């Protein structure tokens, strides 16, 4: 206490005592954790002060994007492209023969989930309502995301080669790359992932940054993964149903759709856990892109097929489905507890 000149005694410490200057338990925790990362900083709220009243009025924040807007926009983008492809007689096995505009539209379909997410965000008031996920993660986490599809595709095609469902032919890979098969495999699985990362970005900005993050706020990770897998598969259904070449010749379309759906639901589990645990999009992109690189740049290039092979390997193959499922189970410790720092 101290005494003013008029005899009034006032506290020498305004407000309650906070003890030593070491701070509260929360302060100590924050100091040990270091400065908050970009993805866990408190959001800044714009405020406007009313002069003369001393009150502050919070500016309206952007609303959460509606998944209904996202879904309707995505359908409105995809269906006209499929109709264009059908009207032009496009065949995915000979896409280079299609008119240039049709080719651009077909390849551009990979970016439609991102465009639909952007529309949903703008309709809700702005793109800042979504954490797009461009946060750094350790290389170990990216390696874990890479390992899941490499193991899955390796198990699938290894089984096919051993059982005669398809024939092992590394000469195809050597001929296409001009390299020893071992170097061709390395080329396909490391730098070969990069172009598919670009295509995966167009999809996963919609699937992982919008759909997964919105669903996970209200549902369990497992339920989120199932919904993501079904939505991801449904996005490809129009192509599989109406555009030649989307399903291997001789394979029943319902069978191919079923196998593809099982594959997307299976892969959705590591994708969802990686996205939620790390808060980053990068491991999701690596996992998605490596599936395609493993299949198209390596496994298919080392395989000679016969009439029944398409039922067993490839995107609509039973062995591919089983191999990915086994790989997801075997690598569960890697993707369930990934390192975010």
CA dihedral over 96, 97, 100, 103, signed as positive or negative: negative
Residue 203's region, left for phi above 0, alpha for psi from -120 to 50, else beta, is: alpha
Q: What is the rounded CA–CA span in Å between residue 159 and residue 146? A: 20
pLDDT of residue 40: 40
Whether 197 maps to a domain, the answer reads yes
The pLDDT value recorded for residue 39 is 39
Give the pLDDT band of residue 156 (cuts 50, 70, 90). Answer: very high
Beta-carbon contacts of 21 under 8 Å, excluding residues fewer than 6 positions away, are none
- 88: helix, strand or coil: coil
Per DSSP, the three-state class of 3 is strand
- 59 domain residue, yes or no: no
Predicted local distance difference test score (pLDDT) of residue 261: 98
Average pLDDT for 292-312: 94
- Spatial distance between the Cα atoms of 277 and 61, rounded to a whole number of angstroms: 26
* Whole-number average pLDDT of the chain: 85
**Would residue 156 count as lying in a domain?**
yes
Q: In this predicted structure, which of 51-55, 200-204, 295-299 has the lowest mean pLDDT?
A: 51-55
> What average pLDDT does the segment 127-144 reach?
92
Token reading at 25: 């338990």
Residue 282 belongs to a domain: yes
- pLDDT tens digits, residue range 81-112? 999 999 999 999 999 999 999 999 999 999 99
pLDDT single digits (tens) 14-36? 444 444 444 444 443 333 344 44
| 184 neighbors 177 (Cβ within 8 angstroms) | yes
Q: What value does the mean pLDDT take over residues 118-140?
A: 90
pLDDT of 45 > 60? The answer is: no
Please state the rounded mean pLDDT for residues 245-269: 96
Decide if 90 contacts 102 (C-beta within 8 A): yes
Tell me how many domains the chain contains.
1
Burial class (CB in 10 A: 0-12, 13-18, 19+), 305: middle
235 assigned to some structural domain: yes
Q: 102 in a domain, yes or no? A: no
Range of the domain at 174: 133-336
Residue 58 reports pLDDT greater than 50: no
Q: Which helix (H) or strand (E) holds 108?
A: helix 100-108
Q: Which residues neighbour 217 within 8 Å (Cβ) at sequence distance 6 or greater? A: none
- Buried b / exposed e along 110-148 (16+ C-beta atoms within 10 A): ebbbbbbbbbbbeebeeeebbbbbebebeeebbebbbbb
Asked whether residue 263 is domain-assigned, the answer is yes
DSSP 167: E
Q: How far apart are CA 269 and CA 264, in angstroms?
A: 9
Assign 177 a pLDDT band (cuts: 50, 70, 90): confident
Q: Is the pLDDT of residue 201 over 60?
A: yes
Domain contains 157: yes
* pLDDT tens-digit map of 282-292: 999 999 999 99
């Amino acid at each position: 206490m101290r005494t003013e000149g008029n005899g009034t005694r006032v506290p020498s410490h305004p407000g309650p005592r906070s003890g030593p200057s070491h701070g509260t338990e929360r302060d100590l925790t924050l100091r040990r954790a270091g400065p908050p990362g970009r993805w866990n900083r408190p959001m800044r709220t714009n405020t406007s002060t009313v002069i003369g009243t001393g009150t502050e009025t919070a500016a309206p924040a952007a609303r959460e994007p509606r998944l209904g807007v996202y879904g309707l926009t995505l359908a409105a983008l995809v269906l006209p492209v499929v109709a264009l492809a059908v009207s032009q007689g496009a065949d995915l096995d000979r896409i280079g023969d299609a008119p240039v505009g049709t080719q651009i539209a077909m390849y551009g379909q990979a970016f439609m989930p991102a465009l639909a997410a952007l529309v949903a965000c703008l309709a809700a008031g702005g793109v800042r309502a979504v954490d797009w996920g461009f946060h750094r993660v350790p290389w170990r986490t990216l390696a874990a995301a890479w390992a899941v599809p490499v193991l899955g595709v390796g198990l699938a095609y290894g089984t096919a080669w051993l059982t005669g469902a398809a024939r092992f032919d590394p000469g195809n890979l050597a001929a296409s790359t001009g390299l020893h098969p071992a170097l061709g495999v390395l080329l396909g699985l490391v730098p070969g992932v990069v172009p598919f990362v670009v295509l995966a970005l167009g999809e996963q900005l919609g699937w992982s940054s919008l759909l997964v993050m919105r669903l996970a706020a209200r549902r369990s990770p497992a339920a989120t993964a199932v919904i993501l897998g079904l939505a991801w598969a449904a996005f490809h259904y129009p192509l599989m149903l109406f555009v030649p070449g989307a399903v291997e010749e001789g394979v029943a379309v319902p069978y191919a759709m079923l196998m593809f759906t099982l594959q997307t639901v299976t892969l959705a589990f590591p994708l969802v856990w990686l996205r939620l645990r790390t808060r980053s999009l990068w491991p999701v992109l690596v996992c998605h892109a490596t599936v395609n690189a493993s299949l198209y740049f390596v496994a298919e290039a080392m395989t000679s097929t016969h009439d029944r092979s398409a039922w067993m390997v490839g995107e609509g193959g039973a062995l591919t489905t089983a191999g990915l499922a086994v790989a997801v189970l075997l690598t569960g410790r890697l993707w369930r507890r990934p390192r975010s720092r």
